[in-house]
Structure 1
Amino acid sequence: MAVGDVDGCDDRTPEEEVSEGLQVYGAVLQAFRQDAGYTQESFAPKIRYSVHYIAKIEQGRRFPPRDLPERVEPVLGPTAAGALKAAAKKLNRKAGLASWFQHWAEVEEQALTLNAYECRVVPGLLQPEAYMREVMNCYLPPLTDEQLELQVAARLARQRLLTERGTTMFSFVMEQHLVERELGGPEVTRNLISHLLSCARLRNVELLVMPRRRTAHAGLEGSLYLAEGPDHEWVGYVEGHQASLLYNDPNQVSTLLQRYGRMRGQALDPEASIRLLEQLRGAP
């Protein structure tokens, strides 16, 4: 059956408790840093991160990298590293995600195979930060600065799946016009294409571009996502304006799998997709 996951709370108005774990983690880091006598400017180079990045973590606006406690330990000591590891266990990776998206995010984290077709924007797992900020700047009603930073942190955290789940196979089919639109301007687009090319070269990622001109297209009904779970059963997911549907009925999921399979054949193959992206980007 298709499960509607709509409750009137979208990612434009995240609840206050959503970011509490990130705020606590940031406060812990800040307290240990200040107790050791470091400013953000003197501390950041010692752990090989930018001052801006450390500031965002301490403000609870960035999901901290997994290796941060290890980097911190030689500088702030084992007690600080241990406290950060403990605080990390309380973090909610889905902070800042829309309520109607969180169920799919849970499926996504456990997937053995993840397929995605997008015709609206570049898939979230493939968006570099500059591009995702341009996407979020288009939201209406507009986001507050705090909401925007929280959502950026959540999306960047989700992207770890590409590298942390190296045995999960990710397949993406995306429309050529998503790059050619130049959302955010030429420089944002060049950065986007370079990022897509880097993702496409990961061993567990397949990136296929659907060319502008096609005499047949199996994705005319819109974007769709499919995931194979640990039990080898597939679920499907589609979303629209602040709402989503999760499909677990085998007949409905089979239809989505057929459409995605046909689109893989209609899109450019991986090598041709890379060549097209390189051509669209121009000289690096």
Structure 2
Amino acid sequence: MPPRKDPDASMSVPCFYGAELRYLREAAGLTLEQLVEGSFRGLSFLSQIERGERAMPMDLAVHVDNVLGTNGFFERRCEDAQKARKGGHAEYFADVLEMEQRAETIEEWAPMLVPGLLQTPDYTRTVVRTGMPRASDEEVEKRVAARMSRAAVFEGENAPKFWAILDESLIRRRTLPNEQMAALLEHIAEVVETTHSILQILPESDGIHAFMTGELRVMDFVDAAPVVYAESLHTGQLIDYPPLVKQYRESYDLLRAAALPPATSLTLIKEAAEDYRNGKHRARLE
């Protein structure tokens, strides 16, 4: 058995709290299995937190504080981290945002909304305003700015390899005025081409497919196990249980096989953008 690799607490904030968690767990005479028992998280997830590879989510922090008797230490840390990271993002997205920064690959399925990394300010503004009709203009613009800032993930030497599958309805459904729809589709094509990403369109004519409901994202990492993020209205769930992650990946591969080829998909997006520019929007892509 290889020697255990202890986290260097000086490397980062997650490493510091991971080292502290391991110290307190071992001082209490508990194994990883014993500490995670009764929580909603997997053993591998807790192990990665101890190694400083992931931040601790609130539900696990509360559980750990209760089991170890640490008087809310980890819960308070999560509250501070959420305030620092939130900055215009939904609270349930905070951990995903952190993982996005160091993912090696990001694969998305978007049946209802254009992925955040491909959105324009006009599109984001419309989506946020529709979902939060009572929000102030300041809150809406804060969320728009936060979403636009995520595009910085494509900059630098370690940018993730991005693959997105979009439902055809996202291209043909007019969610914005013609000029803004054209700008959105042109922006999508530009991001895909400049970042050497891959994008596919799933035709509506295909009927039943592997993912009939819900948005999905699969993220791989150089130094950690892959995770799946499933999002629905007002909530999101991180899934790290290996057998379940494997099932999600297989379903995504089936979806990928059913979608149009990348070159064809990109051509369709550009043609749709031109149609919007010329006021010749078609109800269905051909």
TM-score (norm 2): 0.65
Residue number in structure 2 paired with 1:224: 216
**Which residue of 253, 258, 264 maps to 2:256?**
264
Could you list the structure 1 runs, at least 4 aligned residues long, displaced by more than 3 angstroms after superposition: 164-167
Residue number in structure 2 paired with 1:253: 245
Residue number in structure 2 paired with 1:36: none
Contact 1:93 1:158 in 2 (8 A): no
SS in 1 for 2:212: coil
Question: Is residue 2:188 matched to residue 1:196?
Answer: yes
Question: Is residue 2:154 matched to residue 1:144?
Answer: no
* Aligned AA (2:140): L
- Aligned-partner Cα distance in 1 for 2:157–2:260: 26
**Which residue of 48, 64, 87 maps to 1:95?**
87
Question: Is residue 2:145 matched to residue 1:158?
Answer: no
* Aligned AA (1:234): P
Contact 1:194 1:281 in 2 (8 A): yes
* Aligned AA (2:146): A
Pairs aligned (count): 204
* Aligned AA (2:127): V
Q: Which has the higher contact order (CA 8 A, sep 6+)?
A: 1
- Within 5 A, what are the aligned runs for 1:102-141? 102-141=94-133
SS in 2 for 1:188: helix
Q: 1:255 offset after TM fit, Å?
A: 1.0
% identical aligned pairs: 27
Question: Is residue 2:179 matched to residue 1:179?
Answer: no
SS in 1 for 2:210: coil
Contact 2:216 2:229 in 1 (8 A): yes
Q: 1:168 offset after TM fit, Å?
A: 1.7
Q: 1:134 offset after TM fit, Å?
A: 1.2
Residue number in structure 2 paired with 1:87: none
- Aligned-partner Cα distance in 1 for 2:180–2:85: 26
Q: 1:99 offset after TM fit, Å?
A: 0.8
Q: 1:218 offset after TM fit, Å?
A: 1.1
Q: 1:241 offset after TM fit, Å?
A: 2.1
Residue number in structure 2 paired with 1:27: none
* Aligned AA (1:261): D
Structure 1: segments with no counterpart, 5+ residues: 8-16, 21-91
Q: 1:167 offset after TM fit, Å?
A: 4.2
Pick closer, same or farther for the CA change 1:258–1:151 going to 2, 3 Å.
same
Residue number in structure 1 paired with 2:206: 214
C-alpha deviations, 1:114-148, integer Å up to 9, x for none?
Answer: 11101111000000111111111211343211111
- Aligned-partner Cα distance in 2 for 1:254–1:105: 22
SS in 2 for 1:136: helix
Alpha-carbon RMSD across the aligned residues, in angstroms, is 2.7
SS in 2 for 1:173: strand
Contact 1:118 1:223 in 2 (8 A): yes
Pick closer, same or farther for the CA change 1:232–1:208 going to 2, 3 Å.
farther
Structure 2: segments with no counterpart, 5+ residues: 1-38, 42-56, 60-79, 278-286
Q: 1:247 offset after TM fit, Å?
A: 0.3
SS in 2 for 1:174: strand
Pick closer, same or farther for the CA change 1:97–1:240 going to 2, 3 Å.
same
Q: 1:149 offset after TM fit, Å?
A: 1.4
* Aligned AA (1:278): K
**Which residue of 263, 268, 276 maps to 1:276?**
268
SS in 2 for 1:115: strand
